[in-house]
Structure 1
């Protein structure tokens, strides 16, 4: 799909030149700060499902083109849907936002967000649905929903609480105050803050490291962490045990044990 403004694809999927096991998914409406239209959201769902199902891809980078990561819903398009039929204008949450967040959070391989600029509303939700984040110096973050009379979408009600605790999450949601990439790093939301021109490179370096790792184990770790965030201890213990059993028969685990005993560095195949 292409954007009507430029005929460029609304979402690009590229392979890293240094490591083709890394896929880069780029939101591509730079002239509108990667604001989310139906076209872009549908293209993003398709792109994420594509890389999730590609066995050759072992790590993913999500980023935005231009100077913004993603500023959330395109309010011009939203206004049109409200005028057309307010009762159905929020069907996009079930059709688009929820599948995007599930695709990122449940991706069976690590996802690194390269936050090259502003991450607002659903854009912030997408970033927090990724596993690791690298941000540009001074990049602004905000929830923004209360400012237009809405509650959260894109999983922010959970991801903010789990990442920052209920008190700070409540402040950010109710007051809508923006915060910087530097504050986000201080709070533990992002791994690193680097100059804007170095964000993608830093994220790719991290993704390459992950792509060389035990992909199946990473998928199980993601499942275990998601379960651990919301479940009682007995459920967590059972989930961990089941995950260990599944990994115990993988070539990666068996090869790593043999390498450890031989005092060698393991090489992971991703299976």
Structure 2
């Protein structure tokens, strides 16, 4: 796949892997990196990949925004952070949550700031037990971004979300799992094998059904039961005409493992 300066994008069979690659800065985001990650997501979406793994190089997953880009000389005007979000961060999050394949976030180390909010936009999050999550925006006088003011309270509840956001304290991967913030915390030595196993399972799964499940669950937050029943009806109507559903039923009746195509 394409060459980039701040990330690595590879594809092996049906599995695409996007690695943040600024290990000397704990993979903190720069303006260039925002652009490259968004471009890589577009590239994966246009490919025949069946799953995307997002992870970090070195000992950290992502330390958030690289604040060295925001240094100002005395007398310089302050930065317009709203412009940065509108042009860089928000398009990246919007692209991530609408990926046409499942997104597996492999948190291999410290995840702070945007590095802690970005996993909330992914479908599955698996973290090393040594990893830490920190919503440290409050320590520099900001609010959480990357959609975290919506996704974090919905995921772990308002009280815990408020405590994390206002105090900026870090929590362990095991606590994040216990709170329902991530899918699983695994021993460091078993991390790579766990990611490879889950990625392979997702790549072999009925992709349309997985993506429709994601959409239906996210849409349910603003709907009544009657509206959600209608939503499920519509999804089942479409999926019932898919090749994957036909293969799933045929494999079940023939008592064999299904071979899904993602169509």
Q: TM-score range by the shorter chain?
A: over 0.9
CA contact (8 A) 1:132 1:191 kept: yes
For 2:52, which of 35, 38, 60 is the aligned residue?
60
Matched, 1:224 2:216: yes
2:71 alignment partner, SS class: helix
- Summarize the alignment of residues 21-32 of structure 1 with structure 2, pairs less than 5 Å apart: 21-32=14-25
- Summarize the alignment of residues 194-205 of structure 1 with structure 2, pairs less than 5 Å apart: 194-196=186-188, 198-205=190-197
- Structure 2 CA distance for aligned equivalents of residues 115 and 220 of structure 1: 25
**How many residues were matched structurally?**
262
Matched, 1:245 2:241: no
For 2:38, which of 35, 39, 45 is the aligned residue?
45
- Structure 2 CA distance for aligned equivalents of residues 52 and 8 of structure 1: 17
Quote the RMSD (CA, aligned, Å).
2.2
Alignment gaps of 5+ in structure 1 = 1-6
Matched, 1:13 2:12: no
Matched, 1:167 2:159: yes
- Summarize the alignment of residues 71-82 of structure 1 with structure 2, pairs less than 5 Å apart: 71-80=63-72
- Structure 2 CA distance for aligned equivalents of residues 37 and 82 of structure 1: 22
- Structure 2 CA distance for aligned equivalents of residues 61 and 145 of structure 1: 26
For 2:143, which of 145, 151, 155 is the aligned residue?
151
Matched, 1:187 2:183: no
Show CA shifts across 1:230-252 (max 9, x none). Answer: 33323322222221122111111
- Measured at CA, do residues 82 and 65 of structure 1 come closer, stay the same or move farther in structure 2, by a change above 3 Å? farther
Matched, 1:107 2:94: no
The residue aligned with 1:4 is none
Alignment gaps of 5+ in structure 2 = none
The residue aligned with 1:97 is 89
2:191 alignment partner, SS class: helix
For 1:235, which of 227, 232, 252 is the aligned residue?
227
Tell me by how many angstroms 1:106 deviates: 1.6
CA contact (8 A) 1:120 1:142 kept: yes
- Measured at CA, do residues 263 and 201 of structure 1 come closer, stay the same or move farther in structure 2, by a change above 3 Å? closer
- Measured at CA, do residues 50 and 209 of structure 1 come closer, stay the same or move farther in structure 2, by a change above 3 Å? same
Show CA shifts across 1:38-97 (max 9, x none). Answer: 00111000111111221x200110001111000101111123499754363431211121
- Measured at CA, do residues 23 and 232 of structure 1 come closer, stay the same or move farther in structure 2, by a change above 3 Å? same
CA contact (8 A) 2:137 2:165 kept: yes
- Measured at CA, do residues 237 and 86 of structure 1 come closer, stay the same or move farther in structure 2, by a change above 3 Å? farther
CA contact (8 A) 1:81 1:89 kept: no
1:145 alignment partner, SS class: helix
The residue aligned with 1:3 is none
CA contact (8 A) 1:78 1:89 kept: no
CA contact (8 A) 1:256 1:266 kept: yes
